[in-house]
Amino acid sequence: MSESISHANTDDFEELESLLLDSVNPEFSEADCDQLNSLLRDSSEARSFASELLFDDALLTDSLSTEAAEASFKEETTSPRQSSHAWMRIAAIVTLCLIPLAWMMNREDSPENIETTVATVQGTNRVTGLKHGQTFQAGERVDIERGRAVLRFASGAKFAIEAPAAFTITGSNGVNFDFGRGTVRVPGKIKGFTLVTPTETVVDLGTAFGIEVAKSGTTSVAVFEGEVELQGASEHQRIYAGQSTQSAQSRSPAQSVPHIIDAFLNTWETSFGVQSVSGDLRVARPGERLAPGLAVDSDSLLLFPERENVTLPEGYTLNSTQTGLHEPPFRKQIEHLEESLTVDSYLLQYNPGPDGISPGSERVFTAELRFDRPVVGLILGADRLKASDAKLAMPGAKLDSINRRGINVDDQVELSEDRRTLHIRMSIQDSVDQIRVLVDANA
Amino acid sequence: MNSSTSENAPDAAFVSALTSLQSRLRGYCQAALGHGEEAAEALQRTNIILWTKSSEWEPERDFSRWAISIARYEVLGVVRDRQRVNRRFVFDSDVAEQMIDEASERVTPSSARQEALECCLAKVSQKNRDLLSAYFVRGETFQEIATSTGRGLSALKVAMMRLRRSLRSCIESQTGKEASA
């Protein structure tokens, strides 16, 4: 082990330490990043200091996480005599680190798991043969002849599918996909969602991708975000965001094909729980979604699905949790959550870019947006939008480059009584308009 | 296509070795790649490879050396993948390579530093432990911690830096004590 940096020297690295601490902050800028790299590039002492700090932080994270897990085990232990500190410690570490891993590697569910629910229908759109909330156990087959649906797996993976399609659910993290077209997204930390088709085995490595299986078995994959591994041939192939492949024969390497994703956009929308959009609105395409601050479209409002399964604490401040009509000003329209809520967040934005609308001119955009789960909160004012970015915006969203957020005096947002439909009317002037919509993640 | 679980399941000795090395593997990945998701990805990839290769390991063999060599390969893989898709993360690739070398120096087969840290952590006040847990375990930003605790943003950051400095000092004194004993 290299020598620890002497305590006196640590004062010299205050800026470095501060930058390292800030580096996980969504507001960490390119300039900060440049400065951090410059400090490290120029000095071996700085690198040694940073390395020790980061290493200790990891030990600290593990110790504190293990402690929290131990406390939770303690609460659940009925007889203190039956548990020892050492046992709790191992149990905590195994729970934190290895159970998810073991579960991920075990793609064939054990017999005792066969009886449990491994997937649930989160949403449907004009589909036949599936109902919202319907549950599935491992081994069940799904055939759909019409419409679209999204299944939420126990692993956290979401599989949106468009008819005609047929597949068998193999467990809490995979399907055997006979034919059809769909989008897979795995928003959480668990990876390894596996689709086995007649010609390919596609394994998620933290990603979003489109997949189409023809009735002949030919499998096309288009990776939108992250990466996937193709395991159908003896040499596994990794493919990355922006790449597409086609596998026509089993055990043969997949071939690269042009990255054309239009065929997957319907299931891409469905995978985010967007049941329908109409009027002057579209859902951000893969790629656009990750940087709403940079996305420009003078012809449409854009809906950016943001973070999913975010728990907002009791007391969290929003502009509204109510149904009905919402109009500015919002500065004094403040509500606090009465209990903690887990939400999926969506940013609705109009940004025509610098040349989109000339100052003083005005256009009116109207749209209807329906979700498959209830809207539980709205963030409508510029100050609350900014305050909520840290928790709800995608990392790297670049929203700090946008001034004058929120909506204008003449704009209206109306939430239907069933909480699933938003009617939006935006009178677009010369600035960017934004609102944030929060949907119940657990409904 | 699916991997058979019953035939390839690692034995208890392997699970125990992997469990006890988790903190140092995490430390290695984080020292090389920073606090961001890249380190978590490298750790996960390392765990998967180790798990799939568990049958290749024999208990007489130095587990930590073997595991860290795999971690190094996976850390390099993450850097290469980010380069390939032209995606910047906190370290530029040349700096990441330098940091990987540093991380290799940092990680050791011994768990002495971890034990010292736990000893020092026991002396930290509840208020400061809450701050550490919010930042390191729950992943809250300083802004979020400031909002939930009512403390000032810069005061929080200063408190965190002081706290880590005193922990570092305590660890050094603990490990020094053990070395001289």
> Does A1 fall in a domain?
no
Domain count, chain B: 2
Is residue A1 over pLDDT 80? no
Clarify whether residues B62 and B22 are in a common domain. yes
Contact at CB, A24 and B47, closer than 8 angstroms? no
Contact at CB, A50 and B102, closer than 8 angstroms? yes
DSSP string covering A115-134: TSEEEEEEEEES-SS--TT-
DSSP B7: H
Do A181 and A267 form a contact (C-beta atoms < 8 A)?
Answer: yes
> Does A377 fall in a domain?
yes
Is residue A33 over pLDDT 60? yes
Per the model's pLDDT, the better-predicted residue between B17 and A342 turns out to be A342
- Long-range pairs of A257-261 with CB within 8 A, sequence gap ≥ 24: A257/A220, A259/A222, A260/A222, A261/A210, A261/A222, A261/A224, A261/A285, A261/A286
Burial category of A126 from C-beta neighbours within 10 Å (exposed 0-12, middle 13-18, buried 19 and up): exposed
Pick the range with the lowest mean pLDDT from A154-168, A366-380, B75-89. Answer: B75-89
Each residue of B144-178: pLDDT tens digit?
Answer: 888 888 888 888 988 999 999 899 889 888 887 55
Contact at CB, A51 and B3, closer than 8 angstroms? no
Per the model's pLDDT, the better-predicted residue between B141 and A263 turns out to be A263
Contact at CB, B19 and A94, closer than 8 angstroms? yes
Instruction: Determine if residue A402 is left, alpha or beta; phi over 0 gives left, psi from -120 to 50 gives alpha, anything else beta.
Output: beta
Do A369 and A281 form a contact (C-beta atoms < 8 A)?
Answer: yes
The strands making up A363-371's β-sheet, listed across from edge to edge, are A274-279, A363-371, A421-428, A412-415, A324-326
- pLDDT above 70 as % of chain A: 81
Q: Which of residues 32-71 of B touch A (CB under 8 A)?
A: 34-36, 39-41, 44, 47-48, 51-52
Q: Which domain holds residue B115?
A: 110-181
Confidence of residue A181 (pLDDT cuts 50, 70, 90): very high
Do A147 and A124 form a contact (C-beta atoms < 8 A)?
Answer: yes
Clarify whether residues A433 and A285 are in a common domain. yes
A171 forms bridges with which residues in the sheet? A174
**Predicted complex ipTM:** 0.90
Residue of A nearest to B128 (CA): A64
Each residue of A353-405: pLDDT tens digit?
Answer: 655 556 556 778 899 999 999 999 999 888 888 888 888 888 766 676 666 67
A15, A16, A29, A63: which to substitute to probe chain B, counting the most B Cβ within 10 Å? Answer: A63
Clarify whether residues A290 and A260 are in a common domain. no
The residue among B109, B138, B172 that closes a domain is B109
To the nearest whole number, what is the mean pLDDT of chain A?
81
Q: Is B125 on the interface with A (CB under 8 A)?
A: no
Contact at CB, B137 and A4, closer than 8 angstroms? no
Alpha carbon distances (Å) from A43 to A50, B29, B148: 11, 21, 37
Q: Which domain holds residue A77?
A: 7-105
Each residue of B84-107: pLDDT tens digit?
Answer: 766 667 888 889 989 998 888 877
Each residue of B114-137: pLDDT tens digit?
Answer: 888 888 988 899 889 999 988 888
Q: Are strands A412-415 and A324-326 parallel, antiparallel or unpaired?
A: antiparallel
Best CA proximity match to B77, nearest among A240, A232, A233:
A240
Q: Where residue B159 sits, what CATH number does that domain have?
A: 1.10.10
Distance CA A228, CA A65 (A): 29
Residue of A nearest to B27 (CA): A55
pLDDT score of A207: 83
Clarify whether residues B136 and B80 are in a common domain. no
Alpha helix stretches (DSSP H) within B85-150: 93-106, 112-121, 126-132, 142-149
Is residue B4 over pLDDT 80? no
Determine the distance in angstroms separating the CA of B19 from the nearest CA of chain A, rounded to an integer.
7
Contact at CB, A25 and B19, closer than 8 angstroms? no
Domain count, chain A: 3
pLDDT score of A315: 86
Clarify whether residues B40 and B52 are in a common domain. yes
> Does A2 fall in a domain?
no
Clarify whether residues B169 and B116 are in a common domain. yes
Determine the distance in angstroms separating the CA of A135 from the nearest CA of chain B, rounded to an integer.
24
Each residue of A61-85: pLDDT tens digit?
Answer: 888 877 766 665 454 444 443 444 4
Taking residues A101-113, what's their average pLDDT? Answer: 47
